[in-house]
Chains A and B, each alone.
Chain A
Amino acid sequence: MSFNIDQVAKLARIRLKPEEKERLSKDLESILKYVEQLKQVDTRNVAETSHVLDLTNVFRKDEAKPSQVRDEVLKHAPEREGNFFKVPKVVER
Chain B
Amino acid sequence: MPETLHHFTLKQALDFISKEGPAPLYKELSQRIQEHNPQINAILRFNLEDYESVEKHGGKGKYALVPVAVKDNICIRGRETSCASKILSKHVPPYDATVVTKLKDSGVSIFAQCNMDEFAFGSSSETSAYGIIRNPWDLERVPGGSSGGSAAAVAAGMAIAALGSDTGGSIRQPAAFCGVVGLKPTYGRISRYGLIAFGSSFDQIGPITKTVEDTALLLGLMAGHDPRDSTSAREAVPDYTKALRRDVKGLRIGLPEEYFVEGMDPEVEKSVRAAAELLKKMGAEVKSVKLPHTRYAVAVYYIVAVAEASSNLGRFDGVAYGMRVSKDNLQEMYFETRSEGFGAEAKRRILLGTFVLSAGYYDAYYRQGQKVRTLMREDFSNAFKEVDVLLSATAPTAAFKIGEKSTDPLAMYLSDILTIPANLAGIPAISLPCGFTKSGLPIGLQLMGRPFDEETLLRTAYTFEQAVEVYKQRPKL
Contacts and interface: CB of A to CB of B under 8 A. Distances in A.
A5 B329 CA distance: 24
Give the interface centre of A5, A51, A60, A90 by most chain B CB atoms within 10 Å. A51
A64 interface: no
Contacts of A41: 293, 296, 368, 371-372, 375
Interface string A6-30: 0011011111100010001001101
A14 B323 contact: no
A31 B90 contact: no
B94 A53 contact: no
Label chain A's interface by main secondary structure.
loop
A91 B413 CA distance: 44
Interface in B362-377: 364-365, 367-375, 377
B227 to A, nearest CB: 6
Interface string A58-90: 101000000001001101111100000101111
Q: How large is the interface on A (under 10, 10 to 19, 20 to 34, 35 or more residues)?
A: 35 or more
A89 B347 CA distance: 27
B365 A35 contact: yes
B426 interface: yes
B157 interface: no
B296 A38 contact: yes
A1 to B, nearest CB: 9
A34 B374 CA distance: 20
Contacts of B54: none
Interface stretch (B1-9, B123-131, B262-270, B314-322): B314-322
A87 B333 contact: yes
A67 B299 CA distance: 43
Interface in B305-338: 310, 317-324, 326-336, 338
Interface string B440-477: 00000000000100000000000000000000000000
**B interface, size bucket:** 35 or more
A90 B329 CA distance: 7
Nearest to A70: B94
Given A31-B302, A85-B320, A12 B351 contact: yes
B409 interface: yes
A83 B129 CA distance: 32
B92 interface: yes
Instruction: Select the residue from B187, B321, B352 with max chain A CB neighbours within 10 A.
Output: B352
A51 B231 contact: yes
A27 B348 contact: yes
B303 interface: yes
Contacts of A15: 335-336, 339
B342 interface: yes
A47 B371 contact: yes
A8 B374 contact: no
A35 B371 contact: no
A14 B374 contact: no
Given A12-B351, A31-B410, A48 B94 contact: no
Interface in B403-442: 409-410, 413, 425-426
Contact of B410 (A34, A58, A88): A34
Q: Which of B94, B233, B296, B335 has the most CB of A within 10 A?
A: B94
Contact of A8 (B187, B300, B354, B409): B354
Contact of A38 (B327, B372, B409): B372
A75 B374 CA distance: 45
Nearest to A27: B409
Given A13-B317, A49-B370, A78-B318, A8 B355 contact: yes
A17 B368 CA distance: 32
Nearest to B187: A52
Nearest to B351: A8
Q: Give 5 closest A-B pairs by Cβ, nearest first.
A: A52-B426, A78-B324, A48-B370, A72-B94, A43-B371
Given A24-B347, A34-B298, A52-B425, 10 more contacts: A14-B339, A24-B351, A27-B410, A39-B364, A41-B296, A41-B375, A48-B373, A55-B230, A69-B94, A77-B321
18 contacts: A14-B342, A24-B347, A30-B410, A37-B296, A41-B372, A46-B374, A48-B370, A49-B371, A50-B201, A51-B231, A53-B187, A55-B230, A58-B231, A73-B321, A78-B318, A79-B324, A85-B320, A87-B330
